[in-house]
C-alpha cells in the first residue's frame, strides 16, 4: 500500500488503560496539556517519495491528533509528512 502525496503509513499501538495490579483505574495525573500528550512514537511502514527526510523502517515521533486509521486495520495509520516532528 503506497500513501499518496506526502503522506506516510505508520504502525502505532494505542496504549491500554493504566490500571494497578488490583484492577484500579489510574486517571491522568493532571489536566495540563503538554507535548508528551501529543507526540507519540511509531514505526514507518511505507513512504511516498514526496515525503522528505523519512524512510520505511524509521522510528518517528508524530502528532497523535493528525492520524487517520487505515480501513481494515487496527494499528496502521496515515499521517502527513508535516506531522512528523522527530526521527529517531
| Confidence check: pLDDT of 19 > 80 | no
Closest CA to 84 of 54, 49, 50: 54
| Confidence check: pLDDT of 16 > 80 | no
List all residues 6 or more positions away from 50 whose beta carbon is below 8 Å from its beta carbon: 5, 6, 81
**Through-space distance between the first and last CA atoms of the chain, rounded to whole angstroms:** 23
Give 31-78 pLDDT, tens digit per residue. 556 666 788 999 999 998 877 789 999 999 998 888 888 999 888 999
Given a contact cutoff of 8 angstroms between Cβ atoms, the answer to whether 19 and 57 are in contact is no
Identify the CATH assignment for 1-14+36-88 out of 3.90.79.10, 2.30.33.40, 3.80.10.10, 3.40.50.1970. 2.30.33.40
- The confidence score (pLDDT) of residue 23 equals 78
List all residues 6 or more positions away from 87 whose beta carbon is below 8 Å from its beta carbon: 53, 54, 58, 59, 60
Amino acid at each position: 500500500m503506497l500513501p499518496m502525496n506526502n503522506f506516510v503509513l505508520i504502525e502505532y499501538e494505542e496504549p491500554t488503560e493504566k490500571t494497578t495490579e488490583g484492577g484500579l483505574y489510574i486517571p491522568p495525573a493532571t489536566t495540563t496539556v503538554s507535548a508528551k500528550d501529543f507526540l507519540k512514537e511509531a514505526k514507518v511502514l511505507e513512504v511516498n517519495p514526496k515525503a522528505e527526510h523519512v524512510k520505511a523502517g524509521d522510528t518517528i515521533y508524530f502528532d497523535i491528533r493528525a492520524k487517520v486509521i487505515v480501513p481494515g486495520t487496527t494499528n496502521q495509520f496515515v499521517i502527513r509528512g508535516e506531522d512528523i516532528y522527530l526521527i529517531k
